[in-house]
Structure 1
Amino acid sequence: MSDIVFSDDLTNLLIMFLLSFAAGSVLPLGSEWYVIVLLEKSISALWVVALATLGNTLGGYLTWWLGKAGRAWYDSKRVLSRRGRAAEALFNRYGVWSLLLSWVPIVGDILVVLAGISRTPTALSLILIFTGKLLRYVFLALAWLGVMAG
């Protein structure tokens, strides 16, 4: 952690982790704005992306687990919103690979829940959720760095 200079940086990174965890769960939050705030403060992009990805992946895992635990309820209700039906169609078409889109607002959460409900293998689910979320944060950081470079 040699490139983290101030204790404020540690606090900001902890907030980044917690916010991205919450955003990765079923809570209607976003973490992208805070990534940009931290990059604006010149906090290491590597640390920001790493902690945002880790927190968001763990939040996604919680969502996956909730889906797995709620399978009986889902089977009895089968009531989904329009976005829920769209996510279900996407999951039915692409299966576990749709988890690469787990970062997409609302639909991504539903995809992760559906993966849990369908009892997709834990390790494969985590790898795909992690990959999708990592690519999103890397793209966001690179886009910000590109804009700042002119």
Structure 2
Amino acid sequence: MDTLVSLGYWGLFIGSFLASTIIPMSADVLLVGVLALGGNVWGCLAIATVGNWLGGLTSYWIGWLGRWDWIERWFKVKREKLEQQKEHVDRYGVWLALFTWLPVVGDLFAIALGFYRVRPRMSAFYMLVGRFARFLVWVLLYIKYADRFIEWIR
């Protein structure tokens, strides 16, 4: 994580992208770290959002490439279970994309949205909105408590 922070904006982009896939890391910590090192607040917000969004879209497209028979054969998931999960995805639909930034389940939401072919453009848009809102909260917290964040990081 220190290496990514030391790379500045590029590290923030790469880390935000990777954190939005199945790699367990925190884009939030990276964002605050780069901000604490003097990164431009609004530039960091844009970079973290775009990187994280592109990582989420990657998960979506991985799901899109999946096939029912592969899931049944390789992961031993019965077709009935897939149909039951599809009912849940259909129930909430594209709105699940707003929550793809959540740890652990967010990646599953993104993959499921792709796997069940839920409206790609709207899924992408809501993914962007959700991720932007998440990082905006962190930026606003940083602006308000910058001195505490800097003290915490050091």
Aligned to 1:119: 117
CA distance in 2, matches of 1:140, 1:90: 30
Aligned to 1:47: 43
Aligned to 1:30: 26
Q: How has the CA–CA distance of structure 1 residues 117 and 35 changed in structure 2, closer, same or farther, with 3 Å as cutoff?
A: same
Determine if contact 2:36/2:146 at 8 Å carries over to the other structure.
no
Farther-moved stretch of structure 1 (24-33 vs 67-76) = 67-76
Question: Structure 1: any 5+ residue segments left out of the alignment?
Answer: 1-8, 81-86
Determine if contact 1:88/1:111 at 8 Å carries over to the other structure.
no
TM-score, with structure 1 as normaliser: 0.80
Q: Secondary structure at the match of 1:42?
A: coil
CA distance in 2, matches of 1:70, 1:44: 39
What code does the residue aligned with 1:137 have?
A: F
Determine if contact 2:86/2:116 at 8 Å carries over to the other structure.
no
Q: For 1:80-119, what per-residue CA distance to the aligned partner results, in whole angstroms no more than 9, with x for missing partners?
A: 9xxxxxx978635312101101110000000001100110
Determine if contact 2:98/2:130 at 8 Å carries over to the other structure.
yes
Aligned to 1:74: 71
RMSD between superposed Cα atoms in Å: 2.5
Deviation of the 1:39 alpha carbon: 1.2
Aligned to 2:146: 148
Q: For 1:12-64, what per-residue CA distance to the aligned partner results, in whole angstroms no more than 9, with x for missing partners?
A: 10110000011112222211111111111221111111011101010001100
1:59 aligns with 2:55: yes
Question: Structure 2: any 5+ residue segments left out of the alignment?
Answer: 79-84, 149-154
Deviation of the 1:10 alpha carbon: 10
CA distance in 2, matches of 1:19, 1:148: 21
Aligned pair count reads 136
CA distance in 2, matches of 1:143, 1:69: 38
Q: Percent of aligned positions with the same letter in both sequences?
A: 27
